[in-house]
Amino acid sequence: MTDAAELRRRTQELLAAQPPATTGRLDFLRARFDAGLAWVHYPEGLGGLGAPRSLQAVVDAELEAAGAPDNDPRRIGIGLGMAAPTILQYGTEEQRRRFLRPLWTGEEVWCQLFSEPGAGSDLAALGTRAVRADGDGWVVDGQKVWTSSAHAARWAILIARTDPDVPKHRGITYFVCDMTDPGVEVRPLRQITGEAEFNEVFLTGVRIPDSHRLGETGDGWRVAQTTLNNERVAIGGMRLPREGGMIGPVARTWRERPELRTHDLHQRLLGLWVEAEVARLAGERLRQQLVAGQPGPEGAGMKLGFARLNQQISGLEVELLGAEGLLYDDWTMRRPELVDFTGREAGYRYLRSKGNSIEGGTSEVLLNIVAERVLGLPAEPRTDKDVAWKDLAR
């Protein structure tokens, strides 16, 4: 069995064969993947060694000490946190070998085509259709919305309705969609901050080969749960240093600007600092639980706390700065690939945090998940559970 000492030996061999100072970034990342040191808990040949997940920290520490490049995980977070675990669990061997390596190295960016204008919180009511085409494939028509990084993505994870004659949860199939294919149109969605980090995606006669289907036909809802559980863990369980995330700028301002301090603001800052530290430690505990298996509904609770805390912290920061906190006059149209919460002004952080309770599952939906799947409370009545999708009121 691979242990910490063996991983250190393999890491040192990688560093000796591919010195970070003289090896190109992409070449190093490819070599790291091929050595099984990308995500050590994955199977051999797929970037891992079948080792315990907890030992990833051993590899990461050795590489960081040597100044080795990382794969810019924030930029490719959807691929790493959502697409990869779904492909690993439900993909064929051919799909795993085709997609996982360039996904991990960042050569191919991924996005998520789930939400729709008429099926946001009620995702299972989605209306994008995939019908069998002549030969071995599907033709997809529909619209998706709130798609992060679609303007930079090569691939997308996509769920579409393949059977309208059964209840909504049972007629969905999960696909991998090539974002460069004819019929895929990406349009920017300008947000309250002025930038267009999100997109709406129109699919018109997009042909997807059946070899790009993940899981069985009609089993897409079950496959999607793997994606969604991992998404919530990725958002709510981000690894942060102490005073990392949005609490950092507020604490720094407090220390550097004593003239802004009041007793009331001090008490509120202390309370939020404690909550941020509790959230950080809870995230560490959640990652430890992942060592033992797949993420469960606990990730919903973490994501809920992350959204509420970010919004409260950003509100406190604006209040602390007074009139200065209201200054936000850069409405330049940007198309960022990732969100910069800490590198912008307080006004930006305040506005952007409003989306935290929507993205990755609305807080209202996540409260239901926590109530039913974590606390074991009775499920709310669902009158459409046994009604065919085509008969639902829309």
| CATH value at residue 252 | 1.20.140.10
**Shared-domain flag, residues 51 and 127:** no
**Residue 36 resides in a domain:** yes
- Length in residues, the chain: 394
pLDDT of residue 15: 98
Q: Which residue has the tokens 């969905």?
A: 172
pLDDT of residue 150: 95
- Rounded Cα distance between 5 and 74, Å, is 29
Beta strands at 184-189 and 198-209: parallel, antiparallel or unpaired: antiparallel
**Shared-domain flag, residues 163 and 213:** yes
**Shared-domain flag, residues 256 and 359:** yes
Q: What domain range is 359 assigned to?
A: 224-374
pLDDT per position as a tens digit, 223-277 = 999 998 877 666 655 667 788 888 999 999 999 999 999 999 999 999 999 999 9
pLDDT of residue 26: 97
Q: Which residue has the tokens 């198309």?
A: 335
**Shared-domain flag, residues 316 and 280:** yes
**Residue 89 resides in a domain:** no
Tally of CB atoms within 10 A around 316:
22
Q: Is the torsion defined by CA of 290, 294, 300, 306 positive or negative?
A: positive
**Shared-domain flag, residues 208 and 337:** no
- Rounded Cα distance between 243 and 246, Å, is 8
**How many domains does the chain divide into?**
3
Residue pair 359/230 in contact by the 8 Å Cβ criterion: no
**Residue 105 resides in a domain:** no
The pTM (predicted TM-score) of the whole model is 0.88
**CATH number, domain containing residue 174:** 2.40.110.10
Q: Which residue has the tokens 């309250």?
A: 192
**Shared-domain flag, residues 293 and 353:** yes
**Shared-domain flag, residues 359 and 275:** yes
- Of 309, 338, 307, nearest in space to 232 by CA: 307
Q: Which residue has the tokens 């990755």?
A: 360
Count Cβ neighbours within 10 Å for each residue of 107-136 and write b for 16 or more, e otherwise.
ebbbbbbbbbeebbeebbbbbbbbeeeeee
pLDDT of residue 39: 94
**Shared-domain flag, residues 147 and 268:** no
Given the residues 62, 197, 231, 317, the one annotated as active site: 231
- Rounded Cα distance between 76 and 149, Å, is 9
pLDDT of residue 135: 79
Q: Where are the beta strands (DSSP E) in the chain?
A: 110-113, 129-132, 137-144, 155-161, 172-178, 184-189, 198-209, 213-214
Identify whether 231 is a catalytic site residue. Answer: yes
**Shared-domain flag, residues 350 and 279:** yes
In this prediction, the residues of the chain whose per-residue pLDDT falls under 50 are none
